Amino acid sequence: MFSEVVIFGQGYVGLPLAIAIAKSNIKVLGIDSDIRRIDQIKNGISPIEDLDSDELNRVLESGFFNVSENDYFHISTNVICICVPTPLTKFGTPDLSALESATISAGKNLRPGMLVIIESTIQPGTTRNFILPILEKYSGLVSGDFFLAFSPERVDPINKIWGLKNTPKLVAGLTVDAAN
Ligand SMILES: NC(=O)c1ccc[n+]([C@@H]2O[C@H](COP(=O)([O-])OP(=O)(O)OC[C@H]3O[C@@H](n4cnc5c(N)ncnc54)[C@H](O)[C@@H]3O)[C@@H](O)[C@H]2O)c1
């Protein structure tokens, strides 16, 4: 499927984002490492309270949204969002393993001109010192060939007043071009 946006992680953050993008008539591919979640979404059963299954089915039928466990991106992709879990370890330090694996996949598929947006919760310095080196290593590109931004998600699941469209959000680019 042609997809202009690819979103890693189809949970509380990534799935509503994918639905909102698809409803704007932009083709989006949601990638998740949990095959049961992918099957559930493909079958039109919403795995999260925030998203009604009827709405999910309507968006699936629109042809603007697809999901996969496979991290192959189509040539048409120009934006990658990373919305994977970043829990704390038993020692209270960030567990970046899911972020690392999604970033490696993104790096392998990165082409000049693409924008990568990190939406997962991470500590200061992680975009510059952890994400960027992985993207550069696996793509063979350098910052400037592609764009990297951090925009932490602020979603408050099942809040009926504040949602994806009306919650103010911070956007920080590694470079001015990436922020713009
Ligand atoms: N849920 C919230 O209220 C909320 C609010 C603000 C920020 N955040 C942050 O957003 C991030 C995502 O949280 P969430 O609540 O959506 O998590 P979630 O557990 O609901 O969903 C994450 C999804 O990512 C998938 N995943 C894990 N590793 C993957 C990989 N390598 N590639 C592709 N998919 C992978 C999981 O299978 C899961 O379906 C976290 O950093 C979290 O701290 C969450």
DSSP class per residue in 4-45? SEEEE--STTHHHHHHHHHHTT--EEEE-S-HHHHHHHHTT-
Q: Whose CA is nearest to atom 18 of ligand 1?
A: 11
Q: Which atom of ligand 1 is nearest to the CA of 102?
A: 31
Q: Whose CA is nearest to atom 11 of ligand 1?
A: 120
Mean predicted confidence (pLDDT) in 133-148:
97
Lowest mean pLDDT, pick from 7-16, 36-45, 72-81, 144-153: 72-81
| Probe target for ligand 1 pocket from 6, 8, 12, 96, with the most ligand atoms within 8 Å of CB | 12
Split at pLDDT 50, 70, 90, the class of 53 is very high
> Pick from 15, 12, 35: which is nearest to 23 by CA?
15
Decide if pLDDT at 117 tops 90: yes
Q: Are 78 and 62 in contact (CB under 8 A)?
A: no
Tell me how far the alpha carbon of residue 100 lies from the centroid of ligand 1, in angstroms: 13
Mean predicted confidence (pLDDT) in 121-150:
97
Tell me how far the alpha carbon of residue 10 lies from the centroid of ligand 1, in angstroms: 7
Q: Which regions of the chain does DSSP assign to beta strands (E)?
A: 5-8, 28-31, 65-68, 79-82, 115-118, 147-150, 172-173
Split at pLDDT 50, 70, 90, the class of 163 is confident
Lowest mean pLDDT, pick from 19-28, 96-105, 159-168: 159-168
Measured from the CB, is residue 85 less than 6 Å from ligand 1?
A: yes
Measured from the CB, is residue 8 less than 6 Å from ligand 1?
A: yes
Measured from the CB, is residue 83 less than 6 Å from ligand 1?
A: yes
Mean pLDDT across the chain: 94
Share of the chain above pLDDT 70, in %: 98
Decide if pLDDT at 1 tops 60: no
Q: Could you tell me which residues come within 8 angstroms of residue 14 by beta carbon, excluding any fewer than 6 positions away?
A: 7, 8, 30, 32, 81, 83, 84, 119
Between CA 168 and CA 153 the distance in angstroms is 10
Q: What's 154's DSSP letter? A: -
What's residue 2's pLDDT? 62
What's residue 10's pLDDT? 98
CA 124 to chain centre: 19
CA 180 to chain centre: 18
Query: Residue 135 to residues 72, 80, 128, 142, 147: CA-CA distances in angstroms?
Result: 16, 12, 11, 8, 10
Mean predicted confidence (pLDDT) in 122-142:
97
Decide if pLDDT at 104 tops 60: yes
What's residue 88's pLDDT? 95
What's residue 164's pLDDT? 86
Mean predicted confidence (pLDDT) in 45-61:
96
Measured from the CB, is residue 40 less than 6 Å from ligand 1?
A: no
Tell me how far the alpha carbon of residue 110 lies from the centroid of ligand 1, in angstroms: 21
Lowest mean pLDDT, pick from 125-129, 137-141, 143-147, 160-164: 160-164
What's residue 154's pLDDT? 87
**Amino acid residing at 42:** K
Measured from the CB, is residue 151 less than 6 Å from ligand 1?
A: no
